[in-house]
Amino acid sequence: MIIIMKPAHTDDQLREAIEKVEALGAAPHIIHGDTHITISVIGETKHIGPEDFAGLLGIERVVRISKPYKLAARAAKPEGTKIRIGNLTIGTGGFLVMAGPCSVESEEQTLRIARAVKERGAHVLRGGAFKPRSSPYAFQGLGDEGLQILAKAREETGLPVISEALDMQGLELVAKYADIIQIGARNMQNFPLLKALGKLNKPILLKRGMSATIEEWLMSAEYILSGGNDKVMLCERGIRSFDTQYSRNSLDLNAVPILKTLTHLPVIVDPSHGTGFRHLVSPMALAGMAAGADGIIVEVHDRPDEALSDGPQALLPSDFETLMKKVTNMAPILGVEMQASSKPKKNVA
Ligand code: PEP
Ligand code: MN
């Protein structure tokens, strides 16, 4: 159950509503939306009904939420979550493009690619410093050094950076350097890690587990939200299916409009991991945009044959440039704005 306060409620009225929830034996969780403050009633709520709040002033509406995810449910924040990073507003502020290499391999490689994606209109630089690899013999990432390289790239290009935290030990370090913490598919149900993320005041990109249902995914988001961190984005990155001959995963674009009805959290599509092959990335990025995603995250590498991870799915800068032109052209047709800083700073020859 959620209690939506009137925009003009007083502090006393909010306090009375909170005290009423506590008196009924449930826990109030306050959500600060842009237009409304909402109190989510958490815990044993079967015996509680909207009538319990009938005599209180300052309340606009009381709504029952039957879903197990209470804070992530659309009704908890009908206007949608907005996540602000610098001059970006993710969620309702325009279509967002995150781009960069799969892995931070060296300072030179990262700065080269950061400049390339910035010039072509990316809003956020991606790059993994801690890599979740299927093989223990594969490149595991540069760790701390990789994060410092990303910070340098941010300083030079002005792009905020997103990087993956693999475990509790690395989380503090990633939180120190990255503007957005990525939680990878393999960690979507790492509950201790999700609880730790709930304590941070940092945007989180929560990727879908490779065989996770939408409800399991939303419950993982609920872990972070219920800890007190409301800056969560969901990222569809493909699910395991039976045919891996022509695509690495099956990008589940059904999930995009489904999530848009179920939750207020921003939805990002990752067509790079969703497909695994360069020639599939741009078509599926555009399809994700058409499906209603708030943004995309794509891997870009200028020397994909030398990439230490995910070279076959990396777009070349020229592919990325073409994709950005298509995204920009498609936006008005879909009635979608681009993020404000999407215009390239320099003209690209
Ligand atoms: C990545 O973004 O490089 C990555 C490892 O993603 P995922 O967790 O979706 O496999
Ligand atoms: Mn990758």
* Domain residue ranges of the chain, discontinuous segments joined by +: 2-64, 83-334
Distance CA 204, CA 206 (A): 6
Mean pLDDT of 170-179: 97
CATH class assigned to 2-64: alpha beta
Top mutation candidate among 98, 102, 139, 251 for ligand 1, by most atoms within 8 Å of CB: 102
Distance CA 94, CA 107 (A): 31
pTM assigned to the model = 0.94
Residue 31: its pLDDT value, please?
86
Residue 144: its pLDDT value, please?
97
Distance CA 199, CA 104 (A): 27
Closest listed ligand to the CA of 187: 1
Mean pLDDT of 175-180: 98
Residue 33: its pLDDT value, please?
79
| CATH level 2 (architecture), domain 83-334 | Alpha-Beta Barrel (3.20)
Mean pLDDT of 284-288: 98
b/e string for 289-305 if b means 16 or more Cβ within 10 A? bebbbbbbbbbbbbebe
Structure tokens at 259: 């999530």
Closest listed ligand to the CA of 185: 1
Given a cut of 60, whether residue 345 has pLDDT beyond it is: no
Residue 220: its pLDDT value, please?
98
Provide the percentage of residues in the chain whose pLDDT is more than 70: 97
Provide the percentage of residues in the chain whose pLDDT is more than 90: 91
In this structure, the residue with its CA closest to atom 9 of ligand 1 is: 185
Q: Which residues line ligand 1 (CB under 6 A)?
A: 102, 128, 132, 184-186, 207, 237, 273
Atom of ligand 1 nearest to the CA of 131: 5
Residue 35: its pLDDT value, please?
83
Distance CA 275, CA 248 (A): 5
Q: Ligand 2 centre and the CA of 103: distance in Å?
A: 7
Q: Which residues pair with 192 in a beta bridge?
A: none
